[in-house]
Amino acid sequence: MQLEINVIDAFTDTVFKGNSAAVIITDDWLSDDLMQSIAFENNLSETSFIVLDDDGIYHIRWFSPLTEIAFCGHATLASAFVLFNKNPSIETINFSAKAVGVLTIVQTDDGKIQMDFPNTKPEKVKDIPESLLAGLSIAPVEVYKNTQAYFVIYNAEADVLNVERDNERLKQLAPLDVVVTCQATSADHKDYDFISRYFWPANGGDEDPVTGSAHTALAPLWAERLGKNELIAYQASKRGGILDCVVAGDRVMISGNAVQYMTGFITV
């Protein structure tokens, strides 16, 4: 069996930046084992699989090299990019995913792709897990948590950029991952409101280059702290990525660019 595969760099307009995702569209679902094997072979942050139903809804599932992921923003952006390119007349795409319901995706006037996600604002943690404290070289100022991750607040950009981690310790927080973040204050990041990094040794690997799902929590967290509902975020991984965020009640709109890296076929 041959399957078309597209690899897209998401949250960037430059190849080799942002976060890469593979997109595979099939008429019917492949087996879970096969989808996981393909994701493992691809060895990207995520591989998304899409099946169109009779009602025009695109059902989507996301797999890291290690496991199926409940919610992935950058692979949703990559998937929408592929579908918009294949069907230029489409103005809106509706994705359906078990964990987050129906997601509405549109193209904005400036060419970006905007995704309508649930607001997953985290709550402050009073008792910080020892594994989190031991797993980071710099002590948190504050810690928040939602169903996806712990969110570590730092006061200085240098802390976010330079923190070292013990992956074995952070794995003990499974199934939760770890985000470190601070307000953007330096000249290097003058165009952004906040920066972050995302560590996920329990679910996908070492450090995720750009994590759209995390910004459904980061955006409302920083919106409250900064007193503004429209924010521009930078994920400060080696590849880097830019996310436009709008907090609107129980929804968070996240927009970004995407660029094609590869189209090909895999044989399974």
Q: CB of 13 within 8 A of CB of 112?
A: no
Identify the active-site residue in 41, 46, 91, 130.
46
- Nearest-angstrom CA–CA distance, 105 and 102: 10
CB atoms within 10 A of CB 157: 18
- Nearest-angstrom CA–CA distance, 72 and 141: 27
Please list, in sequence order, all residues whose beta carbon lies within 8 angstroms of the beta carbon of residue 164, skipping any fewer than 6 positions away: 136, 137
Residue 265 structure tokens? 């076929």
Residue 46 designated active-site: yes
90-101 burial string, b = 16+ CB within 10 Å, else e? eeebebebeebe
CB atoms within 10 A of CB 262: 12
Catalytic positions are: 46
